[in-house]
Amino acid sequence: MLVSPSLLSADFANLIPDLEMINESESDYLHLDVMDGVFVPNISFGFPVMKSVAKHCRKPLDVHLMIVDPDKWISQVRDLGAEIMNVHQEACPHLHSVIQRIHNAGMKAGVTLNPATPVSSLVDIIEDVDLVLIMSVNPGFGGQPFIRHSLKKVEELRSLVATTGSKAIIEVDGGVNAQTGKELAVAGADMLVAGSYVFGASDPREAIHSLKVL
């Protein structure tokens, strides 16, 4: 299983030890949750913070933009050195164009679906994307309970990927822990985001390991 710990649950006044923990862990990515207070009812952090984080992080960055007009920020995300840029389907009326522009900037393009957005909305774009991020909570906050219907969406997406021959990786974000992670692995997830499960653990590296082995 690919693992992408979310920095949202780290201590923002003392990030260096948490970044060192990530660097030394088995995590595959660092997940960065950008919130604008418009697309979601919360504000997290922006580019000045992410630039500093990027300097200290040796894992590839998986940037999740929970913002309106995410296409305005493609070059800034590229300048961070991010590997994956995730935009919300609900925030992009011209999703096909945004995906091409993310690719032209040299990044992997991810499309994120809110809990009420159906997998079927991706039928005409699935062959163009590198990753689909299924939200298993309503975006905006860490520490929320896992929405169990997400398991069905992961199964449905796995089947869509198989029937179209898409190379898209299936990532899941929200309420992930060892138990829900195991169920997501069975449903067909390739990559798990975890915030509170990792940073709330007495041994965060062990928490990352417990997802890695799923």
Question: Under the rule (CB under 5 A), what is the footprint of Zn ion?
Answer: 33, 64, 173
State the binding partner of 195 from ligand DX5, Zn ion, none, CB within 5 to 8 A by kind: ligand DX5
Q: Which residues contact 11 (CB under 8 A, 6 or more apart)?
A: 18, 199
Question: Known catalytic residue: 33?
Answer: yes
The token pair at 161 is 């990927």
Q: Which is nearer to Zn ion, 67 or 104 (CB)?
A: 67
* Rounded distance between C-alpha atoms, residue 121 and residue 6, angstroms: 26
Tell me which of 28, 62, 173, 190 is the catalytic residue: 173
The residues of the shown chain that bind ligand DX5, judged by CB under 6 A, are: 6, 8-9, 31, 33, 64, 137, 139-144, 173-176, 193-197
Reported as type and span, the H/E element at residue 154 is: helix 149-164
Beta carbon of residue 34, minimum distance to Zn ion (angstroms, whole number): 9
Closest CA to 32 of 69, 1, 76: 76
Please give the single-letter amino acid code of residue 25: S
* Rounded distance between C-alpha atoms, residue 110 and residue 88, angstroms: 8
Q: Residue 145 gets which letter from DSSP?
A: P
Q: Which residues contact 103 (CB under 8 A, 6 or more apart)?
A: 109
Question: Known catalytic residue: 203?
Answer: no
Q: Which is nearer to Zn ion, 1 or 163 (CB)?
A: 1
Mode of pairing for the β-strands spanning 131-135 and 2-5: unpaired
Beta carbon of residue 51, minimum distance to ligand DX5 (angstroms, whole number): 20
Beta carbon of residue 31, minimum distance to ligand DX5 (angstroms, whole number): 6
Beta carbon of residue 174, minimum distance to Zn ion (angstroms, whole number): 7
Tell me which of 18, 33, 62, 190 is the catalytic residue: 33
Catalytic residues: 33, 173
